[in-house]
Amino acid sequence: MSIHITFLSQGSIILIFLALWFISLSIVAYALVQDSGFSVLVAAIFHMTINFISLLITDVYFNPTFWMINGIVWTIVAAVFVLSKREIYLSPKR
């Protein structure tokens, strides 16, 4: 069973902050991949790094406090990326 599916039974707090984490990771990943000319290698390394770190912290996976802190920290990181790369995220599309 995929680790993502196991979170569905863990309650709404974990799911909310897990979703916040996924969205934040997507924002950071897009900025990194965009800077590299949309390199598949950069995307793969980013994804592999997140998966490897996740394997190292499996003992806190179902701890709501962990997901709250993790979600907030990654939201701050994503906000820094958005503010530092306004031309990607905040400029009007033509």
d(CA 1, CA 35): 34
Q: What is the pLDDT of residues 33-85, one digit of tens each?
A: 998 999 999 999 999 999 899 889 888 878 889 989 999 999 999 999 999 99
Q: Over 90: is that where the pLDDT of 28 sits?
A: yes
pLDDT of residue 62: 80
DSSP states along 38-68: S-HHHHHHHHHHHHHHHHHTGGGTT-HHHHH
pTM, two decimals, is 0.82
